Amino acid sequence: MDIRATLAAQSYGQIRQAEQIAAPQADASAGNAFSEAIRNFTETVQQGENLATAAMTTGADPYALVTALTQTELAVETAVTVRDRVVEAYQEILRMPV
């Protein structure tokens, strides 16, 4: 196993733990928390795209590229999970008797 892959996996685990610990504050409204989550998602994806472009054109640091792509993958997985939960809740509401 390549040492860079091991370091990337460790960084991935640390990032995932940090995101689970960093919960939104209780006094923040749901709208503000959702807006902040969307903004963070957009920034993460954009950073991954920028580093991928830099790696292809200028030969940027491959470790930074792997880290950024891992963060992007985690953000996309989170967005898909949230979408699935929203769809599931909507379908459950539709099944309720009137």
Q: Is residue 68 part of a domain?
A: yes
Q: Per-residue pLDDT tens for 42-85?
A: 888 888 888 888 888 887 777 888 888 888 888 889 889 989 99
Q: Which of 51, 91, 44, 52 is nearest to 71 (CA)?
A: 44
Residue-range definition of the domain harbouring residue 45: 3-17+28-95
Q: Confirm whether 23 is domain-assigned.
A: no
Asked whether 8 and 70 are in contact (CB, 8 A), the reply is: yes
Q: Is residue 7 part of a domain?
A: yes
CB 68 within 8 A of CB 51: yes
Number of domains present in the structure of the chain: 1
Q: What is the pLDDT of residues 84-93, one digit of tens each?
A: 999 999 999 9
